Amino acid sequence: MKAFKNWNARSIAMAVDLARQARADGQSVSFAGGGTDLLQLVKDHIPNRPGQGEPDVLVSLKGIDGPSRIEMTTGGGVTIGALATLTAVSESLVVRDRFNAIAEAAAVVATPQIRNVGTVGGNLAQRPWCWYFRNGFPCYKAGGDRCFSAGGENQLHAIFGGGPSYIVHPSDLAPALVAFGATFRIAGSGGERTVSAPDFFVPPRTDAQHENVLADDEVLVGVDVPAPAAGTRSTYHKIMDREAWTHALSSAAVVMQMDGDVCRRASIVLGGVAPIPWRVPEAEALLAGQRVTPELARRVGEVAVTGARPLAKNAYKVPLTRGVVERTVLALASRA
């Protein structure tokens, strides 16, 4: 592991300032939340920011109090600080009561140890877990000019929205937050800005190297989730190739606004199958104004994967995702 300096920030403004100073001194900087993945990247000599060297300085955000809170807003939404741990999110009564898919997504990340330390911001901004990137290949994600998975081992890679990079976005929280229409607050040298959740994540056709809009000097501060409409229920279903400590092969965050047994409106966002949280509007539209029958759920599953373009070794993700959507939609609609 390359030796680095650790600077503890006491506020977001101080963190941004520390990073700016270090950069002005010609040093490579990374913001550190829980550090569970960042330190592994450092140990493995994998760049946390594409095209930049290994960090000389880590600006630790852990000592900052405000952004670790989870609070209900006056309008009935919730604001989740980017430094809240995944465990805190999964155990938050507010989140569990009104935004269940978010709590469920936080609860199935990695392992209890990692959830106790890992943060919302880290989960959303984590680098891909593609085995080429993680083994030090000079791919797009490392600042290079190629995707090795396209003609190689792509069992775990994208079936939607791929090219020129075929990574899948590794966050479990991301599909749930997109499904709930969250907005992300970002701080940087130029002050704070807000982007909608879908706009936070960047498809590889727009930028093959970065997974999100965060600039080198920016840090995610928090997530605001608007109040759900009455009758809203939600769930997150994650399929892994073992029961813990791995990323989704396919997952679905489903939010439904129910009126009796009729679904007024649905959001379906897939994880583990695309370089960004993957919304399936055609499938959502099938549910609007309908009673959710097993037959309808089956059609929703089929429509959800009609746009899939599997690679040579991940065709199984198509029936898998179809099944995940069908099951999740039906189970959520049937929930009392």
Partner 1 sequence: MSASWVGGGVPTSPLSTSSLGVGTPTSPSAAPRQTPSQSVPQLAPMRTVGHGVPRIDAVERVTGQAGYTRDLRREGMLFARLLTSPHPHARIVSIDTSRAVALPGVRAIVSHFTHPDIVYSSGSIAGGAQYNDTAKDNTLHKRYMFGNPVRYVGEPVAAVAAVDRHAAEEAARLITVEYEELPFVLDVEEALAPGAPQIWPEGNIGLNGQNQPRPLGGRQGDPEAGFAAAHRILEGRYTTSFAQDAQLEPRSVLAEWEGDKLILHTPTQGISNCRHDNARDLGLEDHQVQVICHYMGGGFGDKNGSYYHDLIAATLARETSTPVKLEVTRKEDWLGTHGRWHTTQDLRVGFTNDGVVTAIQQRAYSGMGPFLRRSGGLSGIDAYACPNVDRQIYPVHTNRTVSGNMRAPSEPQGFFPIQSLMDDVAYAVGMDPVDFALRNMRRPTEQVRFTNYSLEECIARGAELFDWRNRWRPTPGADAGPIKRGAGFAFMMFRSGVGPSSAILRLDGTTGRCTLFVGVTDIGPGAKTTMALIAAEELGASLDQVDVVWGDTDRCPYSVGESGSRTTIMTGYAVVEAARDLKRQIAERGTPGTSEVLIASATPNPSTQGRQRLCFGAHFCEVEVDVQLGHVRVTKFVAVHESGRILNPLPARDQIRGAVLQGISMALKEDLLYDARNGQPLTAGYYGARHLTHLDAPQIEVEFIETDDGFGPFGAKTVGEAGIIHSPTAVGNAIYNAIGRRMKDLPITRARILEALA
Pairing of strands 250-259, 278-279: unpaired
* Residue linked to tokens 């060297």: 53
Least CB distance to partner 1 at residue 242 (A): 5
Binding of residue 155 to partner 1 (CB under 8 A): yes
Say how far residue 153 (Cα) sits from the centre of its chain: 23
1 binds partner 1 (CB under 8 A): yes
Residue 39 touches partner 1, criterion: CB under 8 A: no
Residue closer to partner 1, measured from CB, 157 or 233: 157
| 150 lies in the site for partner 1, by CB under 8 A | no
Query: Considering only residues 66, 76, 151, 281, which one is a binding residue for partner 1 as defined by CB under 8 A?
Result: 151
190 binds partner 1 (CB under 8 A): no
| Closest CB to partner 1 among residues 15, 283 | 283
The rounded distance, in Å, linking the Cα atoms of 238 and 291 is 25
CB 7 within 8 A of CB 214: no
- Least distance from C-beta 108 to partner 1, angstroms? 11
With contacts defined by CB under 8 A, name the span among 118-126, 166-174, 209-217, 307-315 that binds partner 1.
Answer: 307-315
CA gap 196, 218 in Å, rounded: 16
Q: What are phi and psi of 222, to 5 degrees?
A: -170, 175
Question: Which residues from 239-278 bind partner 1, rule CB under 8 A?
Answer: 239, 241-246, 249
Which range in 11-19, 21-29, 85-93, 144-152 contacts partner 1 by CB under 8 A? 144-152
Q: Quote the least distance from Cβ 319 to partner 1, whole Å.
A: 6
Kindly tell me which residue out of 289, 316, 334, 335 binds partner 1, with binding defined by CB under 8 A: 316
For residue 281, state whether it binds partner 1 (rule: CB under 8 A). Answer: no
Query: How far apart are the C-alpha atoms of 71 and 80, rounded to whole Å?
Result: 7
How are beta strands 191-196 and 29-32 bridged, if at all? unpaired
Minimum Å gap between C-beta 139 and partner 1 is 12
Identify residue 55 by its one-letter amino acid code: P
Is the separation of the CB atoms in 114 and 247 below 8 Å? no
Q: Which of 17, 56, 153, 216 binds partner 1 (CB under 8 A)?
A: 153
Distance CA 33, CA 35 (A): 5
For residues 123 and 88, the answer to whether their CB atoms sit within 8 Å is: no
Interface region with partner 1, contact rule CB under 8 A, candidates 94-102, 149-157, 187-195, 282-290: 149-157
2 forms part of the interface with partner 1 (CB under 8 A): yes
In this complex, which beta carbon is closest to partner 1, that of residue 157 or of residue 169? 157
Spatial contact of 62 and 33, defined as CB atoms under 8 Å apart: yes
Q: Which is nearer to partner 1, 34 or 77 (CB)?
A: 34
The answer to whether residues 303 and 283 touch, using CB atoms and an 8 Å cutoff, is: yes
The number of CA neighbours under 13 Å toward the Cβ of 125 is: 31
Say whether 57 sits in a helix, a strand or coil.
strand
Interaction residues for partner 1, span 99-118 (CB under 8 A): 111
Which amino acid, residue 3? Answer: A
| Interface residues toward partner 1, by CB under 8 A | 1-3, 43-45, 111, 131-132, 134-135, 137, 148, 151-153, 155, 239, 241-246, 249, 313-316, 319-320, 323-324, 326-327
